[in-house]
Amino acid sequence: MIVPGSTIGILGGGQLGRMLAMAAIQLGYRCIAYTPEKDHVVGDVCHDVFQNKWDDAAAMAAFAQKCDVITWEFENVPVEPIQPMTERLAPHPRALETAQDRLAEKRFVEQLRGRAAPHASVETRADLEEAVERIGTPGILKTRRDGYDGKGQWPLDSAHDVEGLSMPAAPCVYEGKVEFDAEFSVILVRGRDGEVRFWDSSCNTHEDGMLVSSVLPAPASVTRHVAEAREIAKQTADALNYVGVLTLEFFATRQGPVFNEMAPRVHNSGHWTIEGAATSQFENHIRAICGLPLGDTRTIAPRVEMENIVGKQSYTAHERLSDGLVHLHLYGKARAREGRKMGHLTRLGWDEAQA
């Protein structure tokens, strides 16, 4: 067990790291962060921040030396530079290796008998033309690595769209469109002893590839798929010998849950758990990586809705507090640009009228 008073290292400087540090501080831990970002937001709550490039081996070693356990707050942390600190890392970097490659993660889940959207590896225009002919359109071309919130993605509505597409230089994966009733997440926490607990699955709404809102309780179109999706998520966590919070996103379809993406970290669709669950995803991640008993994950309000605050919406976000059931979280980001997540709000409904 990592005892209170110890130091937790966080790789990354964004809002997820900030909220992880806030949860850790409440449990009596010190946090330091490592990030190449100059405009990071973890510094508001961490005791120290190493602002260095990922390939700065000396800085990375000095950071690791100060930590009793190390975790990450986003899945694009380069794997090679963190290999020397593997013994202190939780989760294990194999989770990053799997999730950083969209094709690899689909194949990984399919090996566990999960169902993914029809897909094909694409490295050339000829590959794409073949994939479109075999899988059909509409579909979406995605870079295999990097990209989030809709970045690194190109919708293709017909085969003619391939002709006008400027092919990305990076390896890609083409995915056929899935007809679905809803999108939902399975978020679990797995302890060092292998215990797994799940939060209730929210129904998620996306626009342009970015999460807009997560709502509970989810409709029947989602809930009838949750048990099967949870089994896939648990098998994934067990196969990775995962420690911490793990998120798998699914489409609810007539054929059953279809796996979309995996995030080996706390997740935007789980922000509702801060006020809406007995133990938040952030606190349970800290509990898991430190070897503490896991907290209760039950939902504590009849209705919970989380809404992202994007761009200049943050300028008027405090007006939402006129609704006494709203909890506001702003991330401390200085520049509100279009498409940038600036915060979120969670609204708890306690009776039928409020819901």
**Which pLDDT tens digit goes with each residue over 94-147?**
999 999 999 999 999 999 999 999 999 999 999 999 999 999 999 999 999 876
Q: Which two tokens stand for residue 341?
A: 């997540």
Alpha carbon of 34 to those of 10, 31, 111, 205, 220: distances in Å?
6, 10, 34, 32, 42
Torsion angles phi and psi, residue 11, rounded to 5:
-90, 115
Q: Is 49 exposed, middle or buried (0-12, 13-18, 19+ CB in 10 A)?
A: buried
- What pTM does this model have? 0.94
Q: Which two tokens stand for residue 100?
A: 């950083």
- Residue 249 β-bridge partners: 185, 261
CA count, 13 A, side-chain hemisphere, 32: 17
Task: Give me the residues of the chain with pLDDT under 70, please.
Answer: 147-150, 352-355
pLDDT of 350: 86
Longest distance between any two alpha carbons in the chain, whole Å: 60
Contact 303, 348 (CB under 8 A): yes
Q: Domains in the chain, start-ordered, CATH in brackets?
A: 7-89 (3.40.50.20), 118-176 (3.30.1490.20), 182-300 (3.30.470.20)
pLDDT of 161: 87
